[in-house]
Structure 1
């Protein structure tokens, strides 16, 4: 284990040195800032066997191997497979301290109890254990392994397994060896607990030379650095060059260095307790737990083939990588994390409005603008640039503020005549007039005159979220109830969204003037509005969008369209958009970006302008609930250029896993074959696409999307070769497909020889049977001719008898059938009224609800109750009550259609089921029934008796359980009775 630093570290001197170094080095604008890297981490919760990450390496097939105290975790980008002691590694303990490579690129695993094992293409090979913890392994130019141990010095092992040991008795400064390195000049460097030594690997006597100029402290890390060697010690980072040692940097002179990684012109430095550092053209940058690191104790560093930086800590696995999106939050200097608006200014800067203020992003960094003089909360909703370069800032509670030349020059709020202080949208006319969209309506400011527009002036609703002023004078107004257009002559008209999937909320506008289109983001998708013809086309669920609500569209410099939503950022190719608008295709493909692509949150914000913007440098910015996210569209091709290698990971036959031996011979009866595979790309593993081909079955490649398995059933006996390739979205397929061959043996009856023998046997049997049959027929012919006459008479008598019995049976069956039909009819009818009973109605209710849900047809249920019916029975008699029930049933039936179902629900309650009937029509029917029953004349059998009914109506809303429809209708009936009876009540 690494020991702690023995000397105190001056935080002030360190920070000062880092600052001076950063200021002294020219910033390379093309290099990613350490703070801009996308961060990801994994722990035991994600499948790691242990949170202490001792070592990394990447095998030739593309897997990332991670050494922990509970085994080596093989990572394919999605899941971990753990290799511990025993089979197949042959290691005596699961603790892995070091994973290195030999000259043939095979992995060498070493660790606890002196275990050492090699993984090659042919399998695993292990050697006898050294019975001491192995800290590091390196291979010299002659193929010999040198192993650093924790307390027993340095070990040497050749390819045949021969071994030697070197300790303090042989000249080592300490028997604790932390690091070992075989450099390209033939030297072997040994970092011990008391400094650094080296010897020439060709010298069989191993004459050790101690490096002067280093403190006698543990040397934890060694790394080749051009023609020199970097030395990471407990008390700083040093460089050995041309026989002398020097401090690598004054800022690193007292730093406890535990791991090193050289990546081009960048140097990554892991420390024992102060996190991760990077030394580059950008200066010296630091990342600690405060910046997202799982733990400040760094044990290992590695750069994979996709240039991601992997960091092994005491608190889990950590990765830094470039991502399509970069997100800026308060950690990078923004005033707040909850972003509502972004503005691409003409000077190249980007203004970012958040719930806690407004920030300005430039190449020099992020600065915050103080609005506290006029805004108490500084909560920003909208941003727009004026023709003179000033910026209008719409706030949540302090109106609109104009910022120019570093100061506030104007402010409009309720005191100025605005309808509300909540400014969600701003538009500026050519004549200098200002339009403000508020939560209470629209305002126009011209000079000192303020004009208000609300629902009375033609707005669909007063809640205004977006504005767009077209050069021809039309003002498009996005509200919570649709889009209104104020024409140049002052008329306000509402766009008809009928047929656009019931769209209502209009969150944002984006002009596409190259095609004379205005893109409208709504709660049902994206609407393309033709500015010349007023024709509207909906790009929504039916066109392939994965969800309904979208907030803001943005058109990048390549004319592709980006779209923000609550569930990520969508990107559409321009060519497909054109084809869709020209009705040349019915749906459209898209890419969906989220957290795995660099966003801190996939939840974008909308409802104020602008929620997305395209900066002068071509980057596209989005307002999200966790920072301002930007993407440079041109970089997408760089990410797609990575072609992930692909491997086949599993092979199952009839549900049982089998070893992956290409050329496997499967027994007959292998009816279900499943193969698992993985693209070994770690930048965007969830977005890797796959295609497969089973030679002998498939005629062409089969697109699998992001699925990582393929299953085949009922394959015929024969030889097969399975192939799989992988690619990132918009990238090329891997040139070399992974393949796996297998064969399925036939059953004995599926073999050609069996069928040949069976055919010959069948022909011979048929010939013999034919000859025997002909002879038998001749003999039987004489016997049959004698019996025909006798049997003819007997059969005639039997036929006559059977005909009579059959006639009697048919008559009996007809009688039984008629009785059954009559019984079935009675079982579904109410005897008193002749209406359907409760059982028949329940069946009709289930049937009509299913049909309504399946065909999207309206359906209404009515429950009807005779008012004060108990008084009729009590005051007149039950026979009179029965007469009333019959009369009511007759009137209800007379006003219903043939397709309607009328039933006696129980007692004085009736139920009506009205299929394909809208709520308004159902109310008309019920009113006619109510009036008809109110006019029933009962004087013939009960003088002075007048009856009325109460009714409850509920419209079917697609519920899976139709009893909820009954409950809502019953509640409506109960409310009608509570409100005075003789009325109709509609369920909400």
Structure 2
């Protein structure tokens, strides 16, 4: 896609005229295009439609492409669709909102919520399909006339030659009366779909010409032919407009009172109250042959051509250039005058915008270069003009009345800032210092007078008389008594250049735009804070700040226009928010150049109507902030597209059962909005794991690792920036099965077996004892001495029984211990670790002691198994486990978490100490010698650390540590990431 900057979803057609009923000029529409380079299977787009779930579908000769705004998924010939050929000619929604695909070799396939259903082939190219009130489908063929397929699957063929026309049918339309209209290479015919054996009727009033497209219009028909666009109404046929005569019409779209017309060789036309307008290759179309037109749910116009796909839409910004009347495109300065006009200073002179348009103001009498750097309105409404080479000009009553330059006492002829005072004096910022002009003459100030540097770019005078001077080396503040002070910017990310000032009386703050971001200067306390990279801004330099009527800030830069939310700014400055939310506007939003100019006064201005105008390297770009929010899409469709389990793609079946031992689960989703798909915001919730919605930003993938067994429901919602969350929430239910040893039946069977074993041993011992006792009773009468010996034997037997019972107890304890150990590594297993985690979290909460959880993952372990075998992989894990355990204390808990992952619980340990321990582990593993397996085998680990906070749930501590581990792996692996608090 040619445009990839942040763009907003708009429903109106022209933001520049939000209250006007007239359509925007066709040349003002913003264009975006896609070709095979962007993922299209073919550049010829035969048909376009939008399915009920929100996907955009495109018919091409290499399959049907389903578009989610980010990427294309292609469906062609094969068992999935059942199509006999990949060539798709038309896309239609039936009465049940199912998608019908028709195309080459007579293929017809229907896409429903249950999947694909295909029909037996018609063995001829199908150009179009229409469904009548009885559920019969009428199909237009390329040479075999019409087909009617009934709901029971039976078919009927209608030849429409009969000496009248051709059996080639280009287009179909069923009107409200049940008449089927068919366009052929030699005219228009119709038949009654309610009749059992309908008769073919030729429309004689239409010139004998190919009819390519039919559309309902104002109770009649629009007929697009190779000889122009005609209108049919109650039997009368006439050209819609003489301007459309002899134009070969190949596609039509009716949008309210506008008619969009695709032609075979003259591009795209629009018929409206503005007349007939044309857009062709010279105006940005990829090809002049238009095959299809579509209006989507966001009111964007999509056009399919022979050279790719193009979209026309309104953008938040409208740009005016020399083509619109500006004297030059490179704009440096702007001034919203009190009389409602806007003055525009360019590198080629100055223009004045009024309600009637742009007019050029000649300064040739006083300015040779005519390059304008700064503008200011005088107390009497006159204009002060700062030039690049000709000094300062005073313009009033249509002419230059006064000029100041070096010969008049100015330090330089390059005037970048102008600030008139109420008493009649004027402050002048030049490239060589600051000047003040009044009735007494010219006073000059340079570095010797306290300026950080002599290069002055902006000026502001506060109500208390303080004069703020923005230079290339910082900000100087001239007190009312003449003393000069300097604002220390070393603590503000070493900001140097002060490009502009914007006073904020409501907050008593002076906003300063610098080469390190936006500075908030408190005029009461003389304190300053920086909003730059530390606040999440995408770049450093910002040129001009403008405060809109909602008190939000707009910043110009070399890389587009930033809009900062005021509430977000306040929360950041108060320390309650770690970053500032912003929107970035650029060339995808109506700006012809994202490079906004700065370094002179003023580089942006707000008009009386509330619009903000920015000076750019390609004209002026204007936006109406008050119209933004009401134009957002309120309900954004969202779908879950793919599920991967341990890297393998799994079918999205509800109540899907996943086997025990699943390590990583990945869900991919998409918000089906096409105005700004790359910047749609998402939030997800996994019921059974998450307690609340989790913000995902513009990330379209949610990943979970080592989920315990149980029932889960994954839900996702989407929104445009500043828009409401979608009313529709996409959900998916699945079950993770437990290991066999996690199931109750296993533990019941194990306990039963142990009891049975004990009973058998005891019974055997008791039986042997009884036999010996009987033998003793027989012998007692004969040998008294032997009786005593037998009594001694009984004591021995009792001792042996006691020893046997103790042995059984030891075996039970060993069995219990083995159930808590990992058989491969000898470390604690998942069950033992879960118990230790609960115990240590309770202890940390009770004793207010620090606690850290560490998750470690062996990098690229799958390659070890695939390359060297699983037995080698097991030995690698054993050596890694020994290396990890070596750096842990007796109180620490080290466990094999699953697969190649390990977990370490560090009680009474801060994150700093934990990071040091983990670094030793990481180095130890990296230095392990595996040459006994292979000289090329080297192992590294990635580590995520999370700190326990009072009141935190166990699963959140695990989630934080897992997210840090994920960041470590995404950041290049073999590193440590500590989760933010």
Pairwise CA RMSD of aligned residues?
2.9
| 1:528 and 2:520 matched | yes
Alignment of 1:279-318 (within 5 A): 279-318=271-310
Change (3 A) 1:87 1:410: farther
Aligned to 1:695: 687
Deviation at 1:650, TM superposition (A): 0.2
Query: What is the alpha-carbon distance in structure 1 between the residues aligned to residue 211 and residue 232 of structure 2?
Result: 13
Alignment of 1:125-164 (within 5 A): 125-164=117-156
Decide which moves more: 740-749 or 226-235. Answer: 740-749
| 1:440 and 2:432 matched | yes
Whether the 8 Å contact between 1:306 and 1:642 is mirrored in structure 2 is no
Residue by residue over 1:321-347, the C-alpha shift from the partner in whole angstroms, topping out at 9 and shown as x without a partner, is 223333333444434443323322223
Aligned to 1:840: none
Change (3 A) 1:181 1:747: same
Query: What is the alpha-carbon distance in structure 1 between the residues aligned to residue 71 and residue 573 of structure 2?
Result: 42
Q: TM-score, normalised by structure 2?
A: 0.73
Decide which moves more: 767-776 or 36-45. Answer: 767-776
1:59 to 40, 46, 51: 51
Deviation at 1:88, TM superposition (A): 1.6
Residue by residue over 1:374-430, the C-alpha shift from the partner in whole angstroms, topping out at 9 and shown as x without a partner, is 445433322223334343333333333444455444444444443333222222222
Aligned to 1:637: 629
Alignment of 1:316-465 (within 5 A): 316-372=308-364, 374-446=366-438, 449-465=441-457
Aligned to 1:663: 655
Aligned to 2:721: 729
Query: What is the alpha-carbon distance in structure 1 between the residues aligned to residue 577 and residue 66 of structure 2?
Result: 44
Query: What is the alpha-carbon distance in structure 1 between the residues aligned to residue 320 and residue 603 of structure 2?
Result: 15
Whether the 8 Å contact between 1:310 and 1:317 is mirrored in structure 2 is yes
Alignment of 1:74-153 (within 5 A): 74-153=66-145
Query: What is the alpha-carbon distance in structure 2 between the residues aligned to residue 159 and residue 285 of structure 1?
Result: 44
Change (3 A) 1:368 1:166: farther
Whether the 8 Å contact between 1:596 and 1:684 is mirrored in structure 2 is no
SS of aligned partner of 1:753: helix
Whether the 8 Å contact between 1:324 and 1:639 is mirrored in structure 2 is no
Deviation at 1:532, TM superposition (A): 3.6
Decide which moves more: 600-609 or 27-36. Answer: 27-36
Query: What is the alpha-carbon distance in structure 1 between the residues aligned to residue 442 and residue 169 of structure 2?
Result: 81
Query: What is the alpha-carbon distance in structure 2 between the residues aligned to residue 766 and residue 384 of structure 1?
Result: 100
Residue by residue over 1:61-88, the C-alpha shift from the partner in whole angstroms, topping out at 9 and shown as x without a partner, is 1000011121111000111101111132
Give the total of aligned pairs.
761
Query: What is the alpha-carbon distance in structure 2 between the residues aligned to residue 422 and residue 160 of structure 1?
Result: 84
1:179 to 158, 161, 171: 171
Change (3 A) 1:403 1:246: farther
Query: What is the alpha-carbon distance in structure 1 between the residues aligned to residue 138 and residue 239 of structure 2?
Result: 27
| 1:249 and 2:250 matched | no
2:643 to 651, 672, 680: 651
Query: What is the alpha-carbon distance in structure 2 between the residues aligned to residue 736 and residue 451 of structure 1?
Result: 67
Decide which moves more: 88-97 or 626-635. Answer: 626-635
Aligned to 1:565: 557
Deviation at 1:608, TM superposition (A): 1.2
Query: What is the alpha-carbon distance in structure 2 between the residues aligned to residue 773 and residue 384 of structure 1?
Result: 110
Residue by residue over 1:878-910, the C-alpha shift from the partner in whole angstroms, topping out at 9 and shown as x without a partner, is xxxxxxxxxxxxxxxxxxxxxxxxxxxxxxxxx
Alignment of 1:864-883 (within 5 A): none
Whether the 8 Å contact between 2:682 and 2:700 is mirrored in structure 1 is yes
| 1:236 and 2:228 matched | yes
Deviation at 1:518, TM superposition (A): 1.4
Alignment of 1:771-782 (within 5 A): 778=796
Residue by residue over 1:55-111, the C-alpha shift from the partner in whole angstroms, topping out at 9 and shown as x without a partner, is 100000100001112111100011110111113211122122211111111111112
1:683 to 666, 671, 675: 675
Whether the 8 Å contact between 1:55 and 1:301 is mirrored in structure 2 is yes
Q: Who wins on radius of gyration, i.e. which is larger?
A: 1
Alignment of 1:713-752 (within 5 A): 713-752=705-744
Aligned to 1:830: none
Change (3 A) 1:393 1:115: farther
SS of aligned partner of 1:451: strand
Residue by residue over 1:232-280, the C-alpha shift from the partner in whole angstroms, topping out at 9 and shown as x without a partner, is 1222211111210122123222322221111122221122222222233
Higher RCO (C-alpha under 8 Å, 6+ residues apart): 2
Query: What is the alpha-carbon distance in structure 2 between the residues aligned to residue 366 and residue 285 of structure 1?
Result: 23
SS of aligned partner of 1:551: coil
Residue by residue over 1:896-933, the C-alpha shift from the partner in whole angstroms, topping out at 9 and shown as x without a partner, is xxxxxxxxxxxxxxxxxxxxxxxxxxxxxxxxxxxxxx
Q: TM-score, normalised by structure 1?
A: 0.72
Decide which moves more: 263-272 or 154-163. Answer: 154-163
Residue by residue over 1:575-603, the C-alpha shift from the partner in whole angstroms, topping out at 9 and shown as x without a partner, is 34344455555643333333343333433
1:594 to 586, 595, 600: 586
Structure 2 unaligned regions, length at least 5: 1-18, 770-792, 801-915, 917-981
Query: What is the alpha-carbon distance in structure 2 between the residues aligned to residue 595 and residue 240 of structure 1?
Result: 42
Query: What is the alpha-carbon distance in structure 2 between the residues aligned to residue 773 and residue 500 of structure 1?
Result: 85
Alignment of 1:711-860 (within 5 A): 711-766=703-758, 778=796
SS of aligned partner of 2:602: coil
Query: What is the alpha-carbon distance in structure 2 between the residues aligned to residue 160 and residue 373 of structure 1?
Result: 86
Whether the 8 Å contact between 2:614 and 2:622 is mirrored in structure 1 is yes
SS of aligned partner of 1:206: coil
Whether the 8 Å contact between 1:234 and 1:255 is mirrored in structure 2 is yes
2:268 to 257, 266, 276: 276
Change (3 A) 1:245 1:692: same
Change (3 A) 1:62 1:687: same
Change (3 A) 1:364 1:114: farther
Query: What is the alpha-carbon distance in structure 1 between the residues aligned to residue 526 and residue 446 of structure 2?
Result: 24
Whether the 8 Å contact between 1:172 and 1:208 is mirrored in structure 2 is no
Structure 1 unaligned regions, length at least 5: 1-26, 783-853, 855-988
Whether the 8 Å contact between 2:161 and 2:167 is mirrored in structure 1 is no
SS of aligned partner of 2:127: strand
Query: What is the alpha-carbon distance in structure 2 between the residues aligned to residue 773 and residue 348 of structure 1?
Result: 110
Query: What is the alpha-carbon distance in structure 2 between the residues aligned to residue 406 and residue 133 of structure 1?
Result: 70
Alignment of 1:150-229 (within 5 A): 150-170=142-162, 172-229=164-221
| 1:37 and 2:29 matched | yes
Aligned to 1:609: 601
Change (3 A) 1:477 1:359: same
Query: What is the alpha-carbon distance in structure 2 between the residues aligned to residue 703 and residue 405 of structure 1?
Result: 58
Deviation at 1:159, TM superposition (A): 2.5
Deviation at 1:732, TM superposition (A): 1.7
Query: What is the alpha-carbon distance in structure 2 between the residues aligned to residue 597 and residue 228 of structure 1?
Result: 38
Query: What is the alpha-carbon distance in structure 2 between the residues aligned to residue 709 and residue 428 of structure 1?
Result: 56
Change (3 A) 1:189 1:673: same
Whether the 8 Å contact between 2:634 and 2:725 is mirrored in structure 1 is no
SS of aligned partner of 1:529: strand
Deviation at 1:519, TM superposition (A): 1.0
Query: What is the alpha-carbon distance in structure 1 between the residues aligned to residue 602 and residue 665 of structure 2?
Result: 53
Change (3 A) 1:221 1:358: farther
Deviation at 1:506, TM superposition (A): 0.1
